[in-house]
Structure 1
Amino acid sequence: MTEYLVLFAIVLGINLMPAFGPPTWSVIVLYGLQSDQPVPAIVLTAASAAALGRFLLAHGFRLIGDRLSDKTRANLAAARAAVEQNRRNAILALGLFALSPVPSAQLFEAAGLARVKLLGFTAAFFVGRTISYSIYALGAYGIRNSNLGDLFVDHLTSPVGIAIQVGMIVLLVLFARLDWARILAKKD
């Protein structure tokens, strides 16, 4: 239980940082390499801590928003109205953003300043991070339980790996042989 509390505290602290915090996925990978805890438990602990951290960060920025000029608050209110008008697209965009390893602090800071309703944003972030953290944690366990050199050899000599490489070379040749001037001229 202590390992989960430590992981939760580390990830929460990182996600409370407004900028320049280490990526949470790096903590997940290190935890996966050093711990015997099950992947689902690590992922759910980290995703919960990350979501709570971002939620609290956004609420902190709401307090800062009270100190902004009237003009800036009006601009932020217009941004909030645009997000809330098309809520489905906003949640979808956040979900895609949450799946990527791109830092999300500034997105939650902006949401806090604009006083956007955070529950949906945080839920989409949690789901996205659960998926991406699962990939990182499973990758860490895969590397931990095997020889890294063997992984490279297996990848380079596997039929799927060879097919992917050949396919990419074919795509590269096709890319270079296309008459891009003619293709782009048709678009105009």
Structure 2
Amino acid sequence: MFDIFEIFGKFSYFGIFLVLIGINASPILMPPSWIILTSFYLLDPTLNVVILAVVGATAATLGRFILKQISVLFRRFIAEEQKTNLDVIGEYLNQKKYGYAIASFLFGATPLPSNMLFVAYGLMRAKNLGIYVGFWFGRTISYIVMIYFGDAVLTPFLEIFEDRLTGILLIDGAGIGLIVLFASVNWTLLITQRKLKFVKPKIWRF
């Protein structure tokens, strides 16, 4: 991992931009991008915090756009019942003026893993500019905070997950669990009758 910082760090903001695109375009087995961004800053404190956050947020948004486009391809493997369920929540968010923007902002402004959110967007075939605008603003704010308090936030986090691979797997597992939970909600019933009911998610066709 240190080799990545050393190699791409030589290219300053552009190198960081490339690393963040790659990390955010991958659905699993990648560390949270705020850890990478904060690590770059701790290695080179001469970087401007605001510029670094804007570069990171732009790269993260572009990477998530790529991830969403890739995820659309996997829709063909989803059971018809689950496609209908996903389309219901997609149409509901489309009817809300800032539905997608608010959802993306909330994920972007917190340390919550957003990879599975964009996988869900891809499976829903979501097409809304608010997805990216909300996420970009949320990520910019969260990155500024994370970078500014880098030592106070990063060190305890890495101590909790001394084995970084274990930490990454736990975070990805939590994200996958959220997708399964998301797919288990009967969105038609929840939206039309305000009743929460869970169904067994028949996700894959084979």
TM-score by length of 1: 0.69
Q: Given that residues 40 and 134 in structure 1 are in contact (C-alpha distance below 8 angstroms), is that contact kept between their aligned partners in structure 2? A: yes
SS in 2 for 1:101: coil
For the pair 1:104 / 2:108, whether they are aligned, the reply is no
Shift of 1:118: 4.0
Cα shift readout 1:11-60 (whole Å, capped 9, x = no counterpart) = 11111111231011111211111112211221111111100011110111
Q: Residue 42 of structure 1 is aligned with which of 31, 47, 52? A: 52
In structure 2, C-alpha distance between the alignment counterparts of 1:135 and 1:32, rounded to whole Å: 12
Shift of 1:142: 9.3
More moved, 6-15 vs 64-73? 64-73
Q: Which one-letter code corresponds to 1:110 in the other structure?
A: A
User: Which residue is 1:23 aligned to?
Assistant: 32
User: Which residue is 2:20 aligned to?
Assistant: 11
Cα shift readout 1:89-141 (whole Å, capped 9, x = no counterpart) = 44223212211001001111101110111421111000000001011222238
**Mind listing any 5+ residue stretches in structure 1 that lack a counterpart?**
144-188
Which one has the largest radius of gyration? 1
Shift of 1:75: 2.2
Count of residues in correspondence between the two structures: 143
Q: Given that residues 100 and 130 in structure 2 are in contact (C-alpha distance below 8 angstroms), is that contact kept between their aligned partners in structure 1? A: no
Distance 1:142 1:41, change over 3 A: farther
Aligned-residue sequence identity (percent) comes to 31
**Mind listing any 5+ residue stretches in structure 2 that lack a counterpart?**
1-9, 154-206
Q: Given that residues 21 and 62 in structure 2 are in contact (C-alpha distance below 8 angstroms), is that contact kept between their aligned partners in structure 1? A: yes
Q: Given that residues 98 and 130 in structure 2 are in contact (C-alpha distance below 8 angstroms), is that contact kept between their aligned partners in structure 1? A: no
TM-score by length of 2: 0.63
User: Which residue is 2:201 aligned to?
Assistant: none
How does 1:132-147 map onto structure 2 within 5 Å? 132-140=142-150
